[in-house]
Amino acid sequence: MSHDRFGLSELDAVIAVARRGSFRQAAIDLHISTTALSNTIAQLEARLESRLFNRTTRSVAITEAGRIFLEQVGPALQDLRAALDAVRSHNAGPSGTLRFNAFASAARSALMPLVMEFLQHHLKIHIDVVTEGRLVDIVADCFDFGVRSESLVPNDMIMIPLGPPQRYAVVGSQAYFEKHGKPRTPSELLQHRCIRVRLPNGGIFPWYFERDAEVTRLDVSGPLTLDEPSLVKVAVQEGMGLGFFMEQDVHHEIRAGQFVRVLEEWTPPRDKLCLYYPNRRNPSAAAKAFIELARAHQADQDGLA
């Protein structure tokens, strides 16, 4: 069977279902009906004579054949789209869609300021940002860029630092500290009411501290377990307990006096956030433009350092 009989829409369908783990969510992303998406996948599987997904009424799981298909097709599809975009952009300038994958906190603090500036100068480009806690293979999942802590970036990717190193911050309301006092060491947090955060994999995020090469990891306890930082902020503002955030996520609240920071000497700078992307021979004009902007910001930061 000739490979040229496969259309881009079919390949996009496989990638969307694999990324979402749901036909319904993938259909929403692709702006088609669930039935149409299911039929597209079924027809492709029939032509490949291989099942790409195992389906039940409750879940969708990629098969080994599907995983191999994605590993081979994902990068090729990105190259094909870049080639098409290069032709379109030859006379008309950068256009098309750039897709980003990032932790939510990284998107808020480091990515979105770049995106807002970029869109002001590139009106024909659409930005699609997906935030999630799990690490993904940005090539296999057809993302142009990822944003993660430096230590989490795969070795074969090109990195551009975004902003200064990150720090954690323990904060509480003034009312909470008036009632319960301030912890002087991380171990004293075990006697405090702490707002716990549930990770996407179901685990509870531990609180990390470091001073003079002494590293402390605490599984705190308290009245609430939440899975969204904005909800943790609400609980802290209401005096329900202490919160553990990335510093940039509570910078404004600390400066405004809404939150009081403690144990700052136990939260030294950690990894920088980085924009990363694969080393492609022919990146799209849109990707080149975004890389240029990110590198210009990096040069400005290095100049201020």
Q: For the segment 148-188, what is each residue's pLDDT rounded down to a tens digit?
A: 989 889 999 999 999 888 899 999 999 999 999 999 999 99
Is CATH 3.30.565.10 what the domain over 70-164+272-305 is classified as, yes or no?
no
Residue 127 pLDDT > 60: yes
Q: What is the reported pLDDT for 85? A: 67
User: Where exactly are the structural domains of the chain?
Assistant: 1-62, 70-164+272-305, 168-266
At 2-28, the pLDDT tens digits run 444 567 778 888 888 888 888 888 888
The residue behind tokens 């080393």 is 279
pTM above 0.95, yes or no: no
Q: What is the reported pLDDT for 2? A: 43
3-class secondary-structure state, position 197: strand
Instruction: For residues 162 and 109, give the distance between their C-alpha atoms in angstroms, rounded to a whole number.
Output: 9
Is residue 198 within 8 Å of residue 227, measured between CB atoms?
yes
CATH class of the domain at 1-62: mainly alpha
Higher pLDDT, 111 or 90: 111
Q: Which two tokens stand for residue 87?
A: 């032709």
The residue behind tokens 């009424």 is 57
For the chain, how long is the longest CA-to-CA vector? 74
Is residue 34 within 8 Å of residue 23, measured between CB atoms?
yes
Q: What is the reported pLDDT for 1? A: 39
Residue 87 pLDDT > 80: no
Residue 142 pLDDT > 60: yes
Distance of CA 274 to the CA centre of its chain: 11
What is the mean pLDDT of the segment spanning 275-280? Answer: 90
Instruction: For residues 183 and 192, give the distance between their C-alpha atoms in angstroms, rounded to a whole number.
Output: 8
Tell me which long-range contacts 202-205 makes (C-beta under 8 A, separation of at least 24): 205/244
What is the mean pLDDT of the segment spanning 216-234? Answer: 93
Instruction: For residues 301 and 305, give the distance between their C-alpha atoms in angstroms, rounded to a whole number.
Output: 6
- Read off the DSSP letter of residue 206: P
- Read off the DSSP letter of residue 271: P
Residue burial 20-39, b: 16+ Cβ < 10 Å; e: rest: beebeebbebbebeeeebbe
- Read off the DSSP letter of residue 108: I
At 41-74, the pLDDT tens digits run 888 888 888 888 988 777 788 888 888 888 877 7
- HSE, CB side, 13 Å, CA atoms: give it for residue 274: 17
What is the mean pLDDT of the segment spanning 266-284? Answer: 88
What is the mean pLDDT of the segment spanning 200-205? Answer: 84
- What proportion of the chain, given as a percentage, has pLDDT over 90? 45
**129 exposure class (CB count in 10 Å sphere: 0-12, 13-18, 19+):** middle
Q: What is the reported pLDDT for 4? A: 45
Residue burial 261-281, b: 16+ Cβ < 10 Å; e: rest: bbbeebbeebebbbbbbbeee
Same topology between domain 70-164+272-305 and domain 168-266: yes
Q: What is the reported pLDDT for 25? A: 85
Q: Which fold has domain 168-266?
A: D-Maltodextrin-Binding Protein; domain 2 (3.40.190)
